[in-house]
Amino acid sequence: MGLGVDAETVRLGVLSSTSDHASVVSNNFFVALLCACIVLGHLLEENRMVNESITALLVGLGTGTVILMISRGVSIHVLVFSEDLFFIYLLPPIIFNAGFQVKKKQFFRNFITIILFGAIGTLISFVIISLGAMGLFKKLDVGPLELGDYLAIGAIFSATDSVCTLQVLNQDETPLLYSLVFGEGVVNDATSIVVFNALQNFDITHINAEVVFHLLGNFLYLFLLSTVLGVATGLISALVIKKIYFGRHSTDREVALMMLMAYLSYMLAELFALSGILTVFFGCIVMSHYTWHNVTESSRITTKHAFATLSFLAETFIFLYVGMDALDIEKWRSVSDTPGKSIAISSILMGLVMLGRAAFVFPLSFLSNLAKKNEHEKISWKQQVVIWWSGLMRGAVSMALAYNKFTRAGHTEVRGNEIMITSTITVVLFSTVVFGLLTKPLIRLLMPHRHLTMLSDDSTPKSLHSPLLTSQLGSSIEEPTQIPRPTNIRGEFTTMTRTVHRYWRKFDDKFMRPMFGGRGFVPFVPGSPTERNPHDLSKP
């Protein structure tokens, strides 16, 4: 009996050792590939048509091809895709950086338009893609797909990836366009994930008016509560760092606390079944407005680059893996007998994506322009084309949702699921590489290089080269102005927007900044002239 137990223990130990060794090999392999992507991205920096996303995809495809040849077509499972890996470890840093670096003035100035595009527009695209797939896939005999599968397809392919466009656009030269593309991308991802999760949690076998209103109510509940949780977490971090002021002893503690509080907001949202994307995005906006100005200057620089570096590594890792996983031979075996059908399905999905984008970008842009009096604030026809184009690319969120719906532990078991996974991979690769390569020529054609005046936004962490210690900068930027009496509905809307912004600045200066810190509050460090209180700058 004892010998049997010993033998079993030895066997398990050998298996564990083998598994650990394989894991170490995989980790080393991916770290080496990440280094290769960074080096190649640097060498290709002058050719802005080939950005980091495309570079990582091409490196992944090349690596997958080499491994496939070495293994003689057996398998390339160097690392099995995990939704937990994506949603818990890779996605948060990307959203951290998005909220932390956003130009807040432009974002909130166009907030209504961004919500129209990111929320209402995503729902319109979701309906069109779902109905189109339901009507066309049945004719192609894709497999035993149910109503929930078609609705999931709509949510999966409604998630955009505007990374390529943002890497070409300059937010100082085209602030309106950059703000709309950037803001829509964040809200779109959150909306797609919320809709996808809502579909998984509701019985949709019998859709009626009650179920539809229940879904809409659940969506609004998640959206609002997620935003409130993010704002609350950001304010708590600002209050803690302002009151305790870790910088007098260690800037490392300041940086660590900011990063951990940002991640905590995301995990709290996941714990309470809310939208982690919205929570951490608005939480980091609040942190950049208050918390970031409560720490020492060195901590500001460190935090800014820490968020940007983590986001860059996460994005590169995701696209690298997508490129490698595209050549997983197991997923393509069932569709290899009917390649024409697979191409047809991918083409239909791409066509529905383009139709879904057009169905809301141009009508909602028209509605948005009706509420704007200033011509510079209106969305021109050429800008609408760029916004439509930027949302045609699909990326990591679509891949993660597709794996969540149509695979188990990264493997497919049903023919219809295999077809959907390979079609998702095809759409992601085609849209990212082809549309990504054509993005820069399109923007050059539609929008020649222009220098536009950017509104001052020194409270944003990107403004590291602007004077951080100017006295009373926050209170002098937004002086009350005489607003002309409105003569129509558009004028009423413009007046209301400006009035709300003016009263918010007064409330912020009088109540929020004295309590939570922010621009105008600079910690005092004895013996450090660069960290002196702005009220003492005039003193010798």
Cα(123)–Cα(116) distance, rounded to whole angstroms? 10
Query: What domains sit in the chain, N to C, each tagged with a CATH number?
Result: 83-328+339-446 (1.20.1530.20)
Q: pTM of this prediction?
A: 0.78
Cα(502)–Cα(508) distance, rounded to whole angstroms? 10
Cα(501)–Cα(521) distance, rounded to whole angstroms? 21
For residues 135-164, give the mean pLDDT: 84
Contacts for 461 with CB less than 8 Å, ≥ 6 apart = 100, 101, 288, 292, 300, 303, 304
- Torsion sign (Cα): 396, 85, 150, 95: negative
What are the structure tokens assigned to 537, written together? 């700058």
Q: Answer whether residue 89 shows pLDDT above 50.
A: yes
Provide the pLDDT for residue 248.
Answer: 67
The secondary structure of residue 521, as a DSSP letter, is -
What are the pLDDT digits (tens) for 500-533?
667 778 888 888 888 888 775 555 444 343 444 4
What are the pLDDT digits (tens) for 436-477?
888 888 888 887 655 433 344 445 565 443 333 333 333 333
Assign 121 a pLDDT band (cuts: 50, 70, 90). very high
Average pLDDT, the chain: 77
For residues 433-437, give the mean pLDDT: 86
Q: Answer whether residue 269 shows pLDDT above 90.
A: yes
Provide the pLDDT for residue 348.
Answer: 94
Cα(37)–Cα(57) distance, rounded to whole angstroms? 9
User: Distance from CA of residue 490 to its chain's centroid?
Assistant: 32
